[in-house]
Amino acid sequence: MSSAFSPGRWLIYGVLTLAALFFLLPFYVMLVTAFKTMPEVYSTGILALPDSLNFSAWIHAWSAATIGAASEGIHGYFLNSFILVIPAVIISTAIGAFNGYVLTHWRFRGSNIFFYMLLLGTIIPFQIVLLPMAWVQGRIGIAGTLVPGLMMVHVIYGLAFTTLFFRNYYVGIPHDLIKAARVDGAGFFSIFFRIMLPVSTPIIMVTAIWQFTMIWNNFLFGVVFTQGGQQPVTVAINDLVDTVTSVHMWNVDMAAAIFAALPTLLVYLIAGKYFVRGLTAGAVKG
């Protein structure tokens, strides 16, 4: 009983609490600013609570904020991000599962070289792929589009990560199980769908959350490979902040940023425990 309230334990809790408050401070500033009017923003400190809950900035950001040359809000761009993210996550996760399955249980000559080349893709900066991707999109006529243009970019860039996740997870599945299935007459797809996928829920969750976060929060690919009404919400927020007006509306900027952050926040709140379980399962089995 005494060990539960030891000074060392209280010190750890204190440090963790301070760290949590430190990292949550920017979100707190964004939240209170979004509920203030502009006179309040200029007359009160950034940490001060608003006099009342004012939702005008939220309404302005969602449906009436000036972005670029149009007065339309971020709601259309918010939908663009969902149209982009959902198929990109599904496709990159599915291909990564197949790749990981092949690289662990259906070895072929040069499979290790192929894997190391994919592994190299996890350390390639975004900027390096911009020109090659732009050239390819121009050649096949999908430049400037959200789907399939930008979606293809995220799928291709994410394959290195998804393949790595599934390959490291599938290494922990006994190869004798696969051999036994082959002896019983099961083929490539039968083994994958009946044996591998049913035990892959943890790593599927890890990969899906990872890809969702990476794609939703990405700004560089969105601003380079899309234009106009095809842009994702991250680009729309940047355009909103850069809009030249007589009075900069900080409360609207903060409300728009919170709108954009909500999907990833909800994903981690709802599926965060599965993400941790998936990472743990892969670590133990690997």
The fourth-level CATH superfamily of domain 75-285 is: MetI-like (1.10.3720.10)
pLDDT band at residue 72 using 50, 70 and 90 as cut-offs: low
- Does residue 45 surpass a pLDDT of 90? no
Q: Give the mean pLDDT of 69-84.
A: 82
Write down the pLDDT at residue 281. 62
Q: How many residues appear in the chain?
A: 286
Write down the pLDDT at residue 279. 66
The average confidence (pLDDT) of the chain is: 86
Write down the pLDDT at residue 121. 83
pLDDT band at residue 159 using 50, 70 and 90 as cut-offs: very high
Least confident residue range of 53-67, 86-100, 179-193, 225-239: 53-67
3-state secondary structure the chain: CHHHHCHHHHHHHHHHHHHHHHHHHHHHHHHHHHCCCHHHHHHCCCCCCCCCCCCHHHHHHHHHCEECCEECCCHHHHHHHHHHHHHHHHHHHHHHHHHHHHHHHCCCCCHHHHHHHHHHHHHCCHHHHHHHHHHHHHHHCCCECHHHHHHHHHHHHHHHHHHHHHHHHHCCCCHHHHHHHHHCCCCHHHHHHHHHHHHCHHHHHHHHHHHHHHHHHCCHHHHHHECHHHCCHHHHHHHHHHCCCCCCCHHHHHHHHHHHHHHHHHHHHHHHHHHHHHHHHHHHHC
Write down the pLDDT at residue 286. 42
- Does residue 70 surpass a pLDDT of 70? no
Query: What residue segments make up the domains of the chain, in order of their start?
Result: 2-54, 75-285
Least confident residue range of 1-10, 17-26, 28-37, 73-82: 1-10
pTM (predicted TM-score)? 0.86
- Does residue 273 surpass a pLDDT of 80? no
Write down the pLDDT at residue 175. 83
pLDDT band at residue 184 using 50, 70 and 90 as cut-offs: confident
- Does residue 1 surpass a pLDDT of 80? no
pLDDT band at residue 229 using 50, 70 and 90 as cut-offs: confident
| Residue % of the chain over a pLDDT of 70 | 90
